[in-house]
């Protein structure tokens, strides 16, 4: 490959790693904000479970679901990981974002939302 521009991309985060859609979306949004702040170049890749070879594990109901992944160049991996760590460490901001995403996109019932909020607090200690 000598003389060619060959870039190795690394998956920094994938929504496939998180079972909670609101949490996954919140993490993606906050991570992209952090990466932009630090001028880390990234790309968002979308694929279906059926394209991953893991469709048999997730079952028929999910195999057409879209997975989003944030990829960064190998050389930027360390800086990108620091951005991801910053997202996880700012628990107040993460909790607010998760709850906003859940309320705006997934949970319409106030009682169900309250139950979700309590569950998030208990699960993650927020």
Alpha-carbon distances of 59 from 15, 63, 72, 95, 114, rounded to whole Å: 17, 6, 29, 30, 29
Among 40-44, 58-62, 105-109, which stretch is predicted with the lowest mean pLDDT? Answer: 58-62
Q: What is the pLDDT of residues 63-101, one digit of tens each?
A: 667 888 999 999 999 999 999 999 999 999 999 999 999
Nearest to 30, CA basis, from 70, 65, 77: 70
Please report whether residue 68 resides in a domain: yes
Please report whether residue 123 resides in a domain: no
Please report whether residue 42 resides in a domain: yes
Nearest to 49, CA basis, from 41, 37, 40, 58: 58
Number of domains in the chain: 1
Please report whether residue 115 resides in a domain: no
Q: What is the pLDDT of residues 10-29, one digit of tens each?
A: 888 887 777 788 999 999 99
Q: In the prediction, which pLDDT does 6 show?
A: 47
> Which residue segment(s) compose the domain that 62 sits in?
9-89
Q: In the prediction, which pLDDT does 8 show?
A: 74
Share of the chain above pLDDT 90, in %: 60
Give CA–CA dist 75/82, Å, rounded: 13
Give CA–CA dist 28/42, Å, rounded: 12
Please report whether residue 85 resides in a domain: yes
Give CA–CA dist 84/42, Å, rounded: 13
Higher-pLDDT residue of 2, 109: 109
Looking at residue 64, what DSSP letter applies?
Answer: T
Please report whether residue 96 resides in a domain: no
Q: 58: pLDDT confidence band, cut at 50, 70 and 90? A: low
Q: In the prediction, which pLDDT does 3 show?
A: 39
Average pLDDT over residues 55-70: 69
Q: In the prediction, which pLDDT does 42 show?
A: 94
Share of the chain above pLDDT 70, in %: 82
Please report whether residue 118 resides in a domain: no
The β-bridge relationship of strands 66-73 and 9-14 is antiparallel
Quick count: other Cβ atoms within 10 Å of Cβ 6?
Answer: 7
Please report whether residue 107 resides in a domain: no
55: domain CATH number is: 3.30.70
């Amino acid at each position: 490959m000598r003389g060619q521009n060959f870039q190795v991309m690394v998956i920094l985060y994938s929504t496939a790693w998180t079972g909670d859609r609101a949490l996954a979306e919140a993490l993606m949004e906050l991570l992209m904000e952090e990466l932009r702040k630090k001028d880390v170049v990234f790309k968002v890749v979308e694929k279906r479970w059926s394209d991953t070879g893991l469709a048999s594990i997730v079952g028929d109901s999910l195999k057409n679901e879209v997975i989003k992944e944030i990829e960064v160049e190998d050389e930027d991996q360390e800086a990108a990981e620091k951005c991801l760590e910053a997202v996880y460490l700012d628990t107040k901001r993460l909790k607010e974002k998760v709850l906003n995403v859940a309320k705006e996109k997934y949970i319409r019932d106030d009682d169900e939302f309250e139950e979700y909020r309590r569950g998030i607090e208990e699960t993650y200690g927020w």
